[in-house]
Structure 1
Amino acid sequence: MAVRTTLTWNEEKSLQKLLGNVSLILLYKSTVHGNRISNMYNRCIRQGSTVTMIYCPKNSFGIFMLGHYPEISEGFRKLNSSIYFSFQKNKTMEMTAAFLNSTLKISNDQLEFQFPISPVQYLSLDLHKRTIVIPKLLVEKLGLNPDLGFRFLECEVFRVEGIKDAAGYINRITRATQHRNSLLADLRAYRPYADLVSEIRILLLGPVGSGKSSFFNSVKSIFHGHLTHQAIVGSDVTSITEQYRIYSVKDGKDGKSLPFMLCDSMGLDEKEGVGLCVADIPHILKGCVPDRYQFSPHKPITPKHPAFITSPSLKDRIHCVAYVFDINSIDNLSSKMVAKFKQVQKEVLNCGVAHVALFTKVNNCYEVLQDNFLKMNKSMISQSQIQNANKMLGIPLSNILVVENYASEREMDPLKDILILSALKQMFRAADDFLEDLPLE
């Protein structure tokens, strides 16, 4: 009779997302194979990389360890980067992970992970007593219940199969998370050029379904630390967004507003009288269109409209435009749509507003960035979609940005975050260039 794991399907998928396209093979289950370290050890020794899961009443807690379990006679094994993670039982889809250096010791009574900090902290697991003691370091990093020094319900160990490039695997994941956190810190510390405005405004322009609203949702999700869907998105042939929306983003649910706003517009359409009216764009760029203005494809806003802002200030203006494209459809843009974009670009250039191109729906963000996470791979830059956008819109390659928005996912991904945050940082730089280039008066 096959032994069934306590790990849920959603939790397993979250782990596979974190570790890559791997398989988890159940080696040991304490309630089936015995609550002794020797039982665990005999089933897990020389099995390669493992995931150890501890199921508690309010949390599921786990450790990914690269390489074999150490021999009992070895004492503490050498320092090793490991991934510690937890699932919240009241919201099982949310996983929190931390990348830490630790050493492991196996004795006749327990597993003991030592963290080389001052003072030294330990995580210990006693199978016979079914108790776990988790140090303050992990409680804080994983958002665990502070009273986690109690009995657990079950312990399981899985062999992890399918890890590529084992030598640099943990290092790459660790560096990705560190780079993501560095980008977050930079963006949180951002202030617009010379404090000319308190917040910059970035306008998202693109065809229907290109991912404008999804980009805003993705940015908000990163700063909130979990997935959110404030802006309505869809895949209809007509624009889901019919109002002009000016979205602010808070640093956390109850945090302060960050110094930028994302302005979402109606989708562009190749047909006349459908989608965003090109005549509305100069008014949007100059700051004359209020939040929640209802677009009319047949009738652009005029100064006679009761909501028209007649004397907009610099803070009301658009400081950067992001042309948003679905990377999978850029090569198939019709001549009419290209002509529409030329019209749009002319209006943007006439207003002197900075601009970038944002490609969404990239299939595999893991292949986009170089190992240093700072630049796109040359193979990505040479793709026909990138080259066509460069020729069609005349936008420098350095201002062509690629992202994979959050859509149907249920957990965050550090590499997706890097692409999204890097794109946002480039938009900030473009907005600063616009502000710096303003006339002295």
Structure 2
Amino acid sequence: MYQSFEFGSQVSMVAPFTWKLTDGKRKQPCGLLGNVDLSLLYKASVHGYQASAFHQRCDRQGPTLLVAYNRSGYIFGGYTSVDYTQSGQYITDREAFLFSFQGKIPVCIKVNSGYNARIDDAGQLCFCYNNQPVVLNQRGNAFSVNTTTMYGNDTQLTECEVYKVKQIPQISAIHKQWRNVLWTAKAELMEMIRNHKPLMMSVSRVRILMIGPVGAGKSSFFNSINSIFMSRITSKAMSGSAGTSLTTQFRTYPVKDGREGKPLPFVLCDTMGLEEQTGAGLDIEDISSILQGHVPDRYKFNPMAPFQHNEQRVYRPSSLQEKIHLNSLSKLTLTKADEACPLVEKDLQSLYVSSYIKSKVQEVSSRLGVPVSCVLPVKNYSQELELELNYDYFDDIRPVEANPK
């Protein structure tokens, strides 16, 4: 997967056998792995880059974490839960992932569906390639690797370490939670949504505007909410993965309380994804027009030019029902929590146990200036065929922080 066994350098015993992974950086991979203990097995600057040195210390050690360092300051590597054995066989490992830590934004890349994680003696990312402190991307299909994001296209390594990963048993997960939740309150929370009444009598259904970058899961979020109330998987809004936004129109989606039920007191408004480059994605000026209620349903966005009132054949003042009130960012959904953290992917109820998810919630809170309690990590329905109770959980409007520190 990410380990090349073509080592071939002289063994050096000059460097001290100490961790290069600092306590602060150590928390990031541990956040991806859950409650674990790391012990150093192999250090290239000490044990050398020979395959025999690696296998002598790392074979049949169980789950391991490989951590590499390059001259540009990137810390990256991968995790495997399957032993190294030099078998030459294809290895299936759904828990395997690649990672990169550069600055405060960690990257986690999971195995693509339908592919083996690695061959037991080779892999997509080869470290210490050709007997040199070099990393090589062999451009396989197991992982979707962007070398710029992964290691800044700097292939020269300054160190390579392998750690044995040992899970630390948790006495009780509830004592580890950083946010108090009640996972059995689905019916009560759904009823609260059904009975919500807007403060203004002239507004029967509030509009909720969904804004975010391309691929954030806005359309999937609507599909998930709709699926829950319809009691079956639905895909009314187009969703998926692409380099550009799949949503090209402004869409207003009412949600019904079941197939024959009444409309719920809210409408979800889907938009084109935001992009960094000019002339791509949703135009910022379009957001203002949407808030004012000027943009009609099914209006096709033009990334090169914002919405113009005179484009519409019939112009009339917007009603209060069509407007979206924005005083501040009230709630932020942090999507794809399962893709970000293997612990959460394995058990969604670990969402508020994962220290990695907690760090991302705190990061979003700090960057956007919203309270931590207003950042809600979620997992959308995307590839499931049946509803899952754990996915259907709605966080309380006023979540309580179990441990704010």
Q: Normalized per residue, which structure has more helix? A: 1
Which has more radius of gyration? Answer: 1
Q: Higher RCO, 1 or 2 (CA under 8 Å, sep at least 6)?
A: 2
TM-score (norm. length: structure 1): 0.45
